[in-house]
């Protein structure tokens, strides 16, 4: 059978780092509150010349370098984002153009914070169906552009950034010992759409709008949804949480990450955490965390890795893969 194996990963972050203390001059908050409730200590914020397309391009180039490939080797790009450069065309085609690609195809995927996990499964499906052989999967966001900077309940939580992964189809025996994507599970439930949304859009207000969130409500559902979908992906893969080498969760809140890992029985030392450095970067959060753990040598070839995310919609999902 064909498996989608990881050939490389790369990340990109805006130049400017914004520490929690800076928010004390903007809204009624403290560094202590932010750290205690979320684990976030800083985030990167894009300058005017840094966009979802430019950050996505930089992450893509880093992943290509990591894989020892060039844009000519790629035949599909899928970009997970909720903050595209324009309503259309897809920001993925802008990245395609920036990479000098005139071949293949590119499209955006919108599943908010679950976007990267959704995009990885879409890439895997395209590879296994034969529509693509090497896919550039990117998660890139500039949430700073849709934040209400006067709302302390949301503006302290998010950051900007991008991460990319290159998947390649290879013939495999179809065993649990194969490298590549072994199982996945995706969910959504639109009845929760008003708990985390943007209050604008082309077909309603004709404005971009701002992010709105009932944080407590999201928190209440997060751990149960995350652990359900992770357990489903593990069952589909025929393994248990104890078999995992690395758990790479969506980086929204350290308390949600800790509670999910505890419920799944995954020890702290196997959990990759970057939320203190990046805040919640939505679709970029999982590939940014992956990139960090690969760069520092924690994740190595042969390791069993579980990716997980949950976000607006609600959407949620998990991917099990062997590095």
Return the CA Rg of the chain: 18
Q: Which CB atom, from 227 or from 282, has the smaller least distance to ligand ACO?
A: 282
Q: Is 38 in the site for ligand ACO (CB under 6 A)?
A: yes
Neighbours of 67 (CB within 10 A): 22
39 secondary structure, DSSP code: -
Q: Which CB atom, from 217 or from 268, has the smaller least distance to ligand ACO?
A: 217
Q: Is 218 in the site for ligand ACO (CB under 6 A)?
A: yes
Q: Which CB atom, from 135 or from 140, has the smaller least distance to ligand ACO?
A: 140
Q: Is 215 in the site for ligand ACO (CB under 6 A)?
A: yes
Q: Is 210 a catalytic residue?
A: no
Site for ligand ACO in 7-26 (CB under 6 A): none
Site for ligand ACO in 53-82 (CB under 6 A): none
Contact pattern from residue 256 through residue 275 relative to ligand ACO, giving x for each residue in contact according to CB under 6 A and a dash for the rest: x-------------------
H or E element that contains 308: strand 304-311
**First and final CA of the chain: distance in angstroms?**
17
Q: Is 103 in the site for ligand ACO (CB under 6 A)?
A: no
Q: Which CB atom, from 13 or from 225, has the smaller least distance to ligand ACO?
A: 225
Of 57, 152, 159, 49, the closest CA to residue 100 belongs to 57
How wide is the angle at C-alpha 135 spanned by C-alphas 270 and 227, nearest 5°?
35
Interface residue with ligand ACO among 52, 96, 121, 282 (CB under 6 A) is 282
Using an 8 Å Cβ cutoff, are 11 and 288 in contact? yes
Strands 304-311 and 246-249: parallel
Q: Is 280 a catalytic residue?
A: yes
* Spatial distance between the Cα atoms of 245 and 58, rounded to a whole number of angstroms: 29
Residues that bind ligand ACO (CB under 6 A): 29, 33, 37-38, 112-113, 152-153, 156, 196, 215-216, 218-219, 222, 252-253, 256, 280, 282, 311-312
């Amino acid at each position: 059978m064909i498996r989608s194996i990881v050939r490389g990963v790369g990340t990109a972050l805006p130049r400017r780092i914004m520490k929690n203390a800076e928010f004390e001059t903007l809204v009624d908050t403290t560094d202590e509150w932010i750290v205690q409730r979320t684990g976030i200590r800083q985030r990167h914020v894009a300058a005017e010349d840094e966009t979802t397309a430019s950050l996505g391009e930089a992450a893509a180039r880093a992943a290509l370098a990591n894989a020892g490939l060039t844009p000519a080797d790629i035949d599909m790009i899928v970009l997970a984002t909720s903050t595209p450069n324009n309503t259309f065309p897809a920001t993925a085609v802008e990245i395609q153009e920036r990479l000098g690609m005139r071949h293949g195809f590119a499209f955006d995927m919108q599943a908010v914070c679950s976007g990267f996990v959704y995009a990885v499964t879409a890439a895997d499906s395209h590879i296994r169906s034969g529509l693509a052989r090497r896919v550039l999967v990117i998660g890139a966001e500039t949430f700073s552009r849709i934040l209400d900077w006067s709302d302390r309940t949301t503006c302290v939580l998010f950051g900007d950034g991008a991460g990319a992964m290159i998947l390649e189809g290879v013939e495999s025996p179809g065993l649990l010992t194969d490298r590549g994507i072994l199982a996945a599970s995706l969910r959504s439930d639109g009845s929760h759409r008003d708990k985390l949304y943007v209050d604008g859009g082309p077909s309603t207000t004709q404005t971009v709008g701002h992010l709105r969130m009932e944080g407590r409500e999201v928190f209440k559902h997060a751990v149960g949804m995350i652990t359900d979908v992770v357990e489903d992906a593990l069952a589909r893969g025929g393994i248990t949480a104890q078999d995992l080498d690395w758990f790479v969760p969506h980086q929204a809140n350290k308390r949600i990450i800790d509670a999910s890992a505890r419920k799944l029985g995954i020890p702290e030392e196997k959990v990759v955490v970057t939320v203190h450095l990046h805040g919640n970067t939505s679709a970029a959060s999982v590939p940014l965390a992956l990139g960090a753990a690969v760069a520092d040598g924690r994740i190595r070839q042969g390791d069993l890795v579980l990716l997980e995310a949950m976000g607006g919609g609600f959407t949620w999902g998990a991917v099990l893969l062997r590095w």
